Amino acid sequence: MSQQLINHSPDLKQLRDEGYSIAVCGGYLLIHHIPYVNSNKEIKLGTLVTKLSLSNNTSTAKPQTHVIYFTGEHPCNKDGSCITQIMNSSVSQTLHEGITINHTFSNKPPNGYDNYYHQVSRYAEIISAPAKSLDDTVTEKPFDVIIDEDPDTVFQYLDTNSSRANLNMINAKFNGQKIAIIGLGGTGAYILDLVAKTPVQEVHLFDGDAFLLHNAFRSPGAASNEQLNNKFRKVHYYAGIYSNMHKNVIPHDYYINNQNLDELRQMNYVFICVDKNSVRKNLMDYLLNAAIPFIDVGLGVNTVDDCLIGTIRVTTGTSLKNDHLIDRVPGEDNDNNDYGTNIQIADLNVLNAALAVIKWKKMSGFYQDLEKEHHSTYSINVAQLLNEDLTA
């Protein structure tokens, strides 16, 4: 499939974004998975085929003919009688290697078809209507997986979500970024889940822990018994999952320490998701010296009157703004925190990760950032989000 042609042709892009299973081959547009009723009143799937007219190498022109081809049996009404309003001829012929059609249909609007979306959607509507009346679960829009053939893409398949919302140009602000996530506990794992859905160049995972039973209750998705019993390293477990979507999720199955800190020097942004303040401070000192912006997350939970209270924290540091860190990020380890034992609080991990990723996206120019806060806290019991340490 020529994704370049589809991306640059609004009519083809609309077909793809609405879920039609389209392909371009030998100058023809193929629309697969068109449900229809045959003469035995059975629901089948066929393929519409139309000759492409191009205005240049990367975009379509107005269709030169209203005629379209079909591969399959002749579509019928739900009673098994042929749909006569499109009937033209039924002679099988090979249009191109791998493209053999069985029928030619004709249904011409007064002024012809404006574009290929207009043409394809109209024929699909006529052909599939009887099948839908027999079974309301059938559809001509299956939203099939589309393999992205661009050799430079970081995704395994096409990001039609961004395409549908016309976000591709804004998403391009992430291109080339190398992201490190240090610590794959609950919050770090959800940060990975969100970052892996962006077109950053690489996502590096640093953690020396194994993925164990208690981790499953504060992690994205649902681990199987077999996966838990294998006791994978966290970075390998998550890399195995998110590599299904993003090609460059890179696991490092060890902790960051003074001997390997320089591995972070190639990063554009670093998420610090560790539970030891002494480790956190060491990381911050190195990143500030290397002029690498970072986002540090924290989660403090305590029991009061048989309820949990606590605060979620997101603190950002850069070479231009870091005077707040000494007051905002604890420098010593603190045992007065039930999070160390009562860790099955996935909703807090999700919120902590989402706030951190939103801040990173602001710094990247994806979201507008009017306050440029470098420290945010969310207090659970009063539902208060407070932004501090602003910059002009």
Banded model confidence at residue 164, pLDDT cuts 50, 70, 90: confident
Same domain, yes or no: 198 and 66:
no
> Above pLDDT 70, what percent of the chain?
96
Q: Is residue 144 part of a domain?
A: no
Q: Is residue 209 part of a domain?
A: yes
Same domain, yes or no: 185 and 75:
no
Same domain, yes or no: 220 and 299:
yes
Q: Is residue 146 part of a domain?
A: no
Asked if residues 326 and 373 have their Cβ atoms less than 8 Å apart, the reply is no
Residue positions counted in the chain: 392
Same domain, yes or no: 274 and 127:
no
Q: Is residue 143 part of a domain?
A: no
Q: What is the dihedral of CA 55, 59, 62, 66, to 10 degrees?
A: 120
Same domain, yes or no: 219 and 72:
no
* pLDDT higher than threshold 80 for residue 166: no
Burial class (CB in 10 A: 0-12, 13-18, 19+), 385: exposed
The enclosing domain of 204 has a CATH number of: 3.40.50.720
Same domain, yes or no: 95 and 172:
no
Same domain, yes or no: 208 and 66:
no
Residue 53: both structure tokens together: 């007219």
Q: Which residue do the tokens 């998420």 mark?
A: 271
Same domain, yes or no: 47 and 118:
yes
Same domain, yes or no: 175 and 126:
no
Domain residue limits at 109 = 3-134
- The 10s digit of each residue's pLDDT in 315-361 is 999 999 999 999 998 777 665 554 444 445 899 999 999 999 999 99
- The 10s digit of each residue's pLDDT in 174-227 is 999 999 999 998 899 999 999 999 999 999 999 999 999 988 998 999 999 999
Same domain, yes or no: 62 and 184:
no
Q: How far apart are CA 363 and CA 391, in angstroms?
A: 12
Q: Is residue 200 part of a domain?
A: yes
Banded model confidence at residue 4, pLDDT cuts 50, 70, 90: confident
| 374 φ/ψ angles, rounded to the nearest 5 degrees | -115, 5
Same domain, yes or no: 116 and 10:
yes
Based on the structure, what is the number of domains in the chain?
A: 2
Same domain, yes or no: 167 and 129:
no
Please state which of the ranges 13-17, 382-386, 388-392 shows the lowest mean pLDDT.
388-392
Tell me the C-alpha to C-alpha distance, in Å, between residue 159 and each of 168, 170, 281: 9, 13, 37
Which pLDDT score is estimated for 342?
A: 47
Residue 72: both structure tokens together: 């399959």
Predicted TM-score of the model (pTM): 0.81
